[in-house]
Amino acid sequence: MFEEFIAAGSGGQGVLLIGQIIAYSAICKGLEASWIPSYGPEMRGGTANCSFIISDEEIGSPIVETPTILFSMNQPSMDKFGMAVQDNGLIIANSSLVTNITAKESIKVIKVPAAEIAHELKNSKVENMIMLGAFLGVNPVITIDEAIQALQAKIGAKPEIIALNRKAMEKGAECVK
């Protein structure tokens, strides 16, 4: 197994956390992982993305130019990275903000209405966890339980925050079934 990812969106959308959770969970499973953030000087609202790799073999280079999987949280991210996805790859697109899919015909695209689902959960901050859950619903490279363990290790949040994030991941996974 060798998967190359890019998670991209605006600062504050939690794209870096998506990568951290998947990479950390992979390491806990005994896999190899790399994670590289990229963001502008702006805190919230500027562009942000991360590239990460998980593999069952040693990773030669952490650089991702042609991902197998793209998380696109907004339209500028789709415009920038959509055509870079490898043939037969996967795009998880936040259909609340991505209206024009820019991708090759061989790419599988999953549209996730993350803002609408987050609104149902009464918390817009969980859109990234909804997107992560949707991905895990089609590619269970890690389980939701493993993702939650990684989230707890990363943010050490209160039980109610963890419960909300679990619910968001579960809703994301449900929307792709």
Domain regions of the chain by residue span: 2-174
CA distance 137 to 133: 6
Q: What pLDDT score was predicted for residue 45?
A: 62
Q: What pLDDT score was predicted for residue 13?
A: 87
CATH class assigned to 2-174 = alpha beta
CA distance 76 to 82: 10
Residue pair 129/170 in contact (Cβ under 8 Å)? The answer is no
pTM: 0.93
**pLDDT, one tens digit for every residue, the chain (177 residues):** 999 999 999 887 889 999 999 999 999 999 999 999 987 665 556 778 999 999 999 999 999 999 999 999 999 999 999 999 999 999 999 999 999 998 999 999 999 999 999 999 999 999 999 999 999 999 999 999 999 999 999 888 788 899 999 999 999 999 998
Buried b (16+ CB within 10 A) or exposed e, 75-95: bebbebbbebbbeebbbbbbb
Q: What pLDDT score was predicted for residue 159?
A: 87
